[in-house]
Structure 1
Amino acid sequence: MFCGRCGIENEQQAKHCVDCGLKLQELLVKPNTKINYFIISFSVALLSIFAVAIIHFFSSTTVSETNNGIASEHTDVKENDKTELIKEIQPSVYTISTEAGMGSGFLFDEKGSVVTSAHVVAGFTEVWLRDFMGHITTGRVIGISDELDVALLEVVEYKDKEPLVMDKNISEIGTKIIAFGSPYGFENSASIGYVSGIDRDFDAGYQYEDLYQFDAQTSPGSSGGPLVDAYTGKVIGINTAFLTEDESIGFSIPAHAMYSQLEKWATSPMSSEDVAKIKPHEDLFEESFEYAYEDDYVFDEVTLKDFAEDFMVDYESAVEYGNFAFIEDRVEPNSVAYEELKPYLARFKGKDVRVNLIAGKALKVLIENEHAVVSVQEEFNIIEIDGKTTSIKRERDYTIVMNQYGYYLITDISLYD
């Protein structure tokens, strides 16, 4: 079967094109590519002329709708809108730990129910949870499946907190998303991408069927975190697996596929005895999905830049809340950076200031034998309660080392020379 958009040949039973993702319809012959290109080019030109003619007509209507809080779902999300959305969602996302490992979860209802992956908590009846402020509490597993990789926790301390809204509709290829989780222990991280595939199936102990495929960065620790529609802020799925060959390929169980089961557990919890009977699948983490720790790690320029830019986003929250916990897991204990940042950030606690990161970019990387230096440029505003705004634009050097597990940690931060 040939795709009507790009002309690529697909398998006869394929539902979507393997190259461009277009939903396939039956075609008896391969389309004429030259004719298609001509039609596409002509159509684009015609549409451009038509668009110019109608932009003025609709401009006043668009302004009116925007002023009344109505935004087109086809309008791309602005950078500051995404930042605010991430800030709104982070308080409802948690890092979940057991004696066997860690993962992520998010608040499902006002009763304090937290969703996570079954493989994160399988074999345990109680777990630890850490919120975005660094506060640690315990939770009890009240629902877990041996077939669907989903579990539900009861957390007394989270009762009456505002949960995330789950979207029970099917999302489309091209939907802009934000994936939340704690990859490699970097708690409450957020990465942005798109739904790049649907109806993905694979066998890894649980029944993984009709999964969303997305291209946001995911790593060990991301499992159980929410996959959020960047336009609506609703949860469209739960992150469940990734490919170690390319960690920009992740998979998520759609919200509509698990919602009824979660509601059932929230209303009629499983007993601790029944929960304890559900054991981890031995074949869950096969080579395709398991992260194999290596003996010798090396610095990588791309990941160093990503780490530095992610740190700047978390540093923004650390200043705003006056809480070192936002960046503590990214700083080497007992280092110069640790000893200087912890008391410095404490000065902002209770001062009711708001930090607006305008731009944060890694400029260059210098890799030495035992450490790396990443030069960054950051621009942000500090807005005080009386409206006083301090604008800061500077370049700094982050000195970064790597621990025995391959995690990056900052040891020193200095002004750029």
Structure 2
Amino acid sequence: MTQKPSPKINRNNQIIAALSLALLAVIALGVYLLMGTDSTAPETKPQPSQPLESGSQMPEAETVLPSMIANAKTHVYTLYSDLEQGSGFLINTKGDILTNAHVVLDASYITVKNSDGQEFNGHVIGVSDTQDLAIVRVDELAGKEPLEIEMEPVAIGSPVVAIGSPHDQNNTATTGEITAIDLDFEDQYQYNSLYEMNAEIAQGSSGGPLIATDTGKILGINSIILEEKPGSGYTIPIYTVWDQLTEWVENPITTEEQEIVLQDVKDAYFADDLLENFISAYYELMPYSLNDADSSYYLSYILPDSEAEQEATKLIDEYAGPDRIYDTVQPAITSIEVNEDSATVEAEAEFTYREETSGESSTVSHEGVYTVVIDEYGDYQIADIANE
């Protein structure tokens, strides 16, 4: 992480003077871009989503709303270039990924990787030398639906979740809230109307989304931290830069205008640890739908219009009850078989629930056989379920 010159800070009049002076003193010690230290895509298979190692300042991912992470995971990517490693997220159906300029500026190649091991070549279609913004287009992701973007400002105290790839750990997530608004930093780049939040971020998080936990909408792009305030991060609200992003999307830099070196990228593949993590995460979403029929984030793990969609719905209908409140689920993977075009995963799980009227706790056990495929965007999807 590179120390930056002391920036010029301006506070919105809504922030009281005492806080302004305190923040000014802290920021004078240095602003850091959230750059990764390893810019090369790893040769080994990607690690499943997990919290950082013990001793890190990043809180464990278990503290994050699981349904929010599950819904966002297939829209957040790890970016590698010959210069940096960072994060990014899909913003439209053209395959465009928003990230920070300092992640991709002057890079000779950009490799984009999802959480299931699929890699893509990307190319910059827009980048600024004054604002820390860039868009990378991945042609193979055209047609994939993005998460919804919040186009209005949010208030101090709004709950948020930050998702990214700090230290090259895919889909690490932390929760917090907006602690200040309308901050302006002037440094290598001009940062205007920033959100400050206490969801901790770290090296490699640059370009990851900040998401409102109450709506699931993307609020902004995580961009910088302060040397002496590592517990806070600063996010560029997307609504403030949407006009610039739209201009790049509609008038992109062409590949002919760039010196791009295409890399040999890896196709998505089946690996035991990734499959175990995938099915376990699917199970962990089930209690949300068992308690609330309107919560259907588990469907992001299921191939649309497949037999699996019908079987999952049947299971929800069978286990849900008007007097049942599901608290926990403990999944266990018992067998994994990798085939040429699919994988078969056998699993069992124990759901714990309590009767709302009596408070009595009970358990229900489930066994299932899951057929997992890789879809056109390189994501794992459940194509069939045999509930036993």
Query: Under TM normalisation by the shorter chain, which class is it?
Result: 0.5 to 0.7
Per the TM alignment, residue 17 of structure 1 is displaced from its structure 2 partner at its CA by: 3.0
The structure whose residues are more often helix, as a share, is 1
Q: Is the 8 A contact 1:353 1:382 kept in 2?
A: no
Per the TM alignment, residue 384 of structure 1 is displaced from its structure 2 partner at its CA by: 3.9
- Is 2:149 the counterpart of 1:166? yes
Q: 1:90 to 1:19 in 2, by over 3 A?
A: farther
Residues matched between the structures, number: 244
Alignment of structure 1 residues 47-66 onto 2, 5 Å: none
Aligned counterpart, 2:75: 92
Larger Rg, first or second structure (1 or 2):
1
Per the TM alignment, residue 113 of structure 1 is displaced from its structure 2 partner at its CA by: 0.8
Per the TM alignment, residue 230 of structure 1 is displaced from its structure 2 partner at its CA by: 0.5
Per the TM alignment, residue 185 of structure 1 is displaced from its structure 2 partner at its CA by: 1.5
- Is 2:171 the counterpart of 1:177? no
Aligned counterpart, 1:243: 226
Q: 1:175 to 1:351 in 2, by over 3 A?
A: same
Q: Is the 8 A contact 2:210 2:221 kept in 1?
A: yes
Q: Is the 8 A contact 2:11 2:182 kept in 1?
A: no
Aligned counterpart, 2:16: 17
Q: Distance in 1 between matches of 2:198 and 2:99?
A: 20
Q: Distance in 1 between matches of 2:102 and 2:350?
A: 37
Q: 1:227 to 1:381 in 2, by over 3 A?
A: farther
Per the TM alignment, residue 153 of structure 1 is displaced from its structure 2 partner at its CA by: 1.0
Aligned partner of 1:160: which letter? G
Alignment of structure 1 residues 323-402 onto 2, 5 Å: 346-347=336-337, 349-351=343-345, 383-385=366-368
Q: 1:202 to 1:275 in 2, by over 3 A?
A: farther
The structure whose residues are more often strand, as a share, is 2
Per the TM alignment, residue 352 of structure 1 is displaced from its structure 2 partner at its CA by: 7.4
Alignment of structure 1 residues 101-250 onto 2, 5 Å: 101-124=84-107, 126-250=109-233
Aligned counterpart, 2:38: none
Q: 1:273 to 1:205 in 2, by over 3 A?
A: farther
Q: Is the 8 A contact 1:195 1:212 kept in 2?
A: yes
- Is 2:248 the counterpart of 1:265? yes
Q: Is the 8 A contact 1:114 1:154 kept in 2?
A: yes
Per the TM alignment, residue 156 of structure 1 is displaced from its structure 2 partner at its CA by: 1.4
Q: Is the 8 A contact 2:334 2:346 kept in 1?
A: no
Q: Secondary structure at the match of 1:351?
A: strand
Q: Deviations over 1:243-300 (max 9, x none)?
A: 2333221000001112122122112102357667xxxxxxxxxxxxxxxxxxxxxxxx
Aligned partner of 2:228: which letter? E
Per the TM alignment, residue 134 of structure 1 is displaced from its structure 2 partner at its CA by: 1.7
Q: Is the 8 A contact 1:93 1:107 kept in 2?
A: yes
Identical aligned residues as a percent: 31
Aligned partner of 1:15: which letter? Q
Aligned partner of 1:351: which letter? V
Q: Is the 8 A contact 1:199 1:210 kept in 2?
A: yes
Per the TM alignment, residue 151 of structure 1 is displaced from its structure 2 partner at its CA by: 0.5
Aligned counterpart, 1:44: none
Q: Is the 8 A contact 1:211 1:251 kept in 2?
A: yes
Q: Distance in 1 between matches of 2:11 and 2:195?
A: 22
Structure 2 stretches of 5 or more lacking a match? 1-9, 21-61, 260-272, 284-332, 353-362, 371-388
| Segment of structure 1 superposing worse, 258-267 or 145-154 | 258-267
Give TM-score, length-normalised by structure 1.
0.52
Q: Is the 8 A contact 1:124 1:141 kept in 2?
A: no
Structure 1 stretches of 5 or more lacking a match? 1-10, 22-78, 277-311, 323-342, 359-379, 388-417
Q: Secondary structure at the match of 1:91?
A: helix
Q: 1:199 to 1:357 in 2, by over 3 A?
A: farther
Q: Secondary structure at the match of 1:192?
A: strand
Over the aligned positions, Cα root-mean-square deviation in angstroms equals: 3.8
Q: RCO greater where, 1 or 2, for CA within 8 Å and sep 6 or more? A: 2
Q: 1:352 to 1:177 in 2, by over 3 A?
A: farther
Aligned partner of 1:163: which letter? P
